[in-house]
Amino acid sequence: MKSVTTKARTRLPNETIGPGRRQFLKTAMKAGALLALPQVIPGSALGKAGSVAPSERIILGAIGIGGRGRYVLSCFLQDPDLHCVAVCDVRGDNRQRAKAMVDDRYGNQDCATYIDLREILARRDIDAVLIATGPNWHATASIMAARAGKDVYCEKPCTKNIAQSLALADVFRRTGRVFQAGTQRRSLPNFAYAVELAHSGRLGQLQTLHAHPGGLGTSMSGWLPTEPAPARDQADWDLYLGPAAWRPYNRRLLDGFNFEKGGGMTGGGCLEWGSHCVDLCQWANQADDTAPIEYEPVNGQLHARYANGVKLVMRNDGWLPLGSCPVRFEGTTGWVETGDDAEFGASSPDLLTRRGAKIPGYPADFHVRDFVDCVRTRAQTRANADCACWAHIACHAANIALYLNRKVTFDPKTCEFVGDEQANRLRSEALREPWRI
């Protein structure tokens, strides 16, 4: 089958698509361009775009505001109908940087700072919170926030295990709170367009989905040598540990990414990247309310299968030249692939004539916008707690297969591994006292 790519000089230099042809493709694609995203809700219907009184603004607090947190916070701060009043972090340097950022935005010194998330959650004036702590805290903090009556935008990976994934969905359903997982690729037109091709049948019957959660494998952070703990206002170690099992202070652990990614027994790229690219495959397969039923490590990859027969291949390295987080959807009559550079590969140029605007670099702005809209409408976000729950379950189940290094069979109805006690025991993990979900 003839294939086409919109990526200039990626596969082989100066072949197949020369500059003139590239120009042609760009021209052809802009013609008839269509924003492949769900309905845009009019600002006036939501009382936004500067049309609301200050008393009607959404009041935001931000919890966990390191580098990633400050980036997402900057997306929130662009919204004139939202006002950030407080930031919270166990690290003093993060607190001060985030406060400076917020104060600079509003031209005052009003942004309050907190070390303990319970204090910011206790503020009745705060409607919504951004949670961008390390993954260790994501589910627990999100659930605490929902119970405190806050809507939540939470960075990914959102959960540490299958039980937390289910609890997250349950709590947000029970509380009626809005949840948006920080899987912002759900709000980017190139990924949405690829998914639309899968949904519309233009690829034929879906057969195989490819995700690229680089760094597949398990990780287990342990108990590093004790170092003198800093003063609480510099880093509150007890709060940093939060729901994770206790260990002494060591500065190497004071980094969300090095600390128990995914929960110790499991984790690694499967959650770090899978929460994005496996999530996109779930979406493409219209499987936001389920997960694959079989998972098997195969030659460094993880092969999974859905009940509808669609295969999911989680690749580890060396694959698509389309930027980070690439996905590929294959059907009986065609295929499409895309990644973070917002370019496409496809089995036919005809598949790409209606692609949307090219927005490379996986910005979070649109995803934040969707969250803010849903805070007002109370609708489900694009990456709501239910679909985040199932995408994370798929990643955790894959990780359990990788950890046990064998095939596991999963029943999405009971959320149990079939006849597999070892796998079932890895579905949850006790939280350190006094935390609970």
Partner 1 sequence: MNVSKRYVTWFILLVVTAVSAMAIGQDQAAAEAKQRELLAVLQSNAPKAEKAIPCKQLAIYGTAEAVPTLMSLLADEELASWARIALEAIPGPAADEALREAMGTLQGRLLVGTINSIGVRRDARAVDGLVQKLNDADADVASAAAVALGHIGGDRAAAALTQALAKAPAAVRSAVAEGAILCAEGYMAQGKAAEAVKLYDAVRGADLPDQRHLEAIRGAILARGSGGIGLLTEQLRSDDKDRVGIGLRTARELPGRNVTEALVAEMDRLSPQKRSLLLLALSDRKDEAVRPAVLKAAQGGPNALRITAIGILIRLGDASCIPTLLQAATEGDVDLGRAAQETLVRLPGKDVDADLAARLPQARGKLRQVLIELASQREIQQSLPTIVSSMEDDDPAVRAAAVQAVGVLGRDRQHVAELTRLVQKTAASSERAAIEKALLAVTGRVGAPAVSYLMPLTKSSDRSLQITGLRTLAVVGGSEALDAVKAAIAGDEGDVQDEAVRILSTWPNRWPDDADAGEALLRLTRSGGKMSHQVLALRGYLQHIRGNKGLSNDQKLARIVELRPQIQRPEEERLAIAVLGEAPTAGALELLTTLAQDAAVAEEAYSAIVTVAAADVPGLSGPQRRRALQTVLDKSANNGTKRRAQEALKKVQ
Unique residue bearing structure tokens 């609301």: 52
CB of 224 to partner 1, least distance (A): 8
Binding mask 1-20 for partner 1 (x = CB under 8 A): -----------xxxxxxxxx
Q: Which of 310, 308, 302, 267 is nearest to 406 (CA)?
A: 302
Q: Which two three-digit tokens encode residue 216?
A: 């597949």
Residue 407 is a binding residue for partner 1 (CB under 8 A) = no
Cα separations in angstroms, 147 against 278, 294, 383:
28, 34, 20
Residues that contact partner 1, how many (by CB under 8 A): 63
Which range in 45-53, 98-106, 279-287, 389-397 contacts partner 1 by CB under 8 A?
Answer: 45-53
Distance (Å, whole) CA 90 – CA 226: 19
Residue 148 is a binding residue for partner 1 (CB under 8 A) = yes
Residue 257 is a binding residue for partner 1 (CB under 8 A) = no
Which residue, 105 or 202, is less far from partner 1 as judged by CB? 202
Which range in 32-40, 181-189, 275-283, 337-345 contacts partner 1 by CB under 8 A?
Answer: 32-40
Residue 324 is a binding residue for partner 1 (CB under 8 A) = no
Residue 87 is a binding residue for partner 1 (CB under 8 A) = no
Strands (E), 123-239: 128-131, 151-154, 179-181, 206-211
Q: Which residues pair with 417 in a beta bridge?
A: 410
The amino acid at residue 120 is I
Residue 426 is a binding residue for partner 1 (CB under 8 A) = yes
Compute the CA torsion angle 258, 263, 264, 267 (nearest 10 deg): -70
Distance (Å, whole) CA 367 – CA 372: 9
CB of 18 to partner 1, least distance (A): 3
Which residue, 109 or 200, is less far from partner 1 as judged by CB? 200
Pairing of strands 206-211, 311-314: parallel
Among 3, 8, 10, 47, binds partner 1 (CB under 8 A): 47
Which residue, 121 or 154, is less far from partner 1 as judged by CB? 121
Residue 354 is a binding residue for partner 1 (CB under 8 A) = yes
Which range in 44-52, 112-120, 282-290, 382-390 contacts partner 1 by CB under 8 A?
Answer: 44-52
Among 31, 54, 108, 309, binds partner 1 (CB under 8 A): 31
Residue 41 is a binding residue for partner 1 (CB under 8 A) = yes
- Structural contact between residues 312 and 328, judged by C-beta atoms closer than 8 angstroms: no
Residue 100 is a binding residue for partner 1 (CB under 8 A) = no
Query: Which secondary-structure segment (H or E) carries 389?
Result: helix 385-404
Contacts of 40 (CB under 8 A, 6+ apart): none
Q: Which of 121, 134, 132, 123 is nearest to 98 (CA)?
A: 132
Distance (Å, whole) CA 380 – CA 311: 28
CB of 220 to partner 1, least distance (A): 7
Is the dihedral angle over the CA atoms 275, 277, 279, 282 positive or is it negative?
negative
Interacting positions 149-178 with partner 1 (CB under 8 A): 149, 163, 174-176
Binding mask 207-236 for partner 1 (x = CB under 8 A): -------------x-xx-------------
Residue 379 is a binding residue for partner 1 (CB under 8 A) = yes
Among 135, 157, 182, 264, binds partner 1 (CB under 8 A): 264
Q: Please, how many CA atoms are within 13 Å of residue 49, restricted to the half-sphere of its CB? A: 6
In 3-state terms the chain splits into helix, strand, coil percentages (rounded to 5) of 35, 15, 45
Residues within the interface to partner 1 (CB under 8 A): 12-21, 23-25, 27-28, 31-32, 34-35, 39-42, 44-47, 147-149, 163, 174-176, 220, 222-223, 245-248, 264-265, 353-354, 376-380, 421-422, 425-426, 428-436
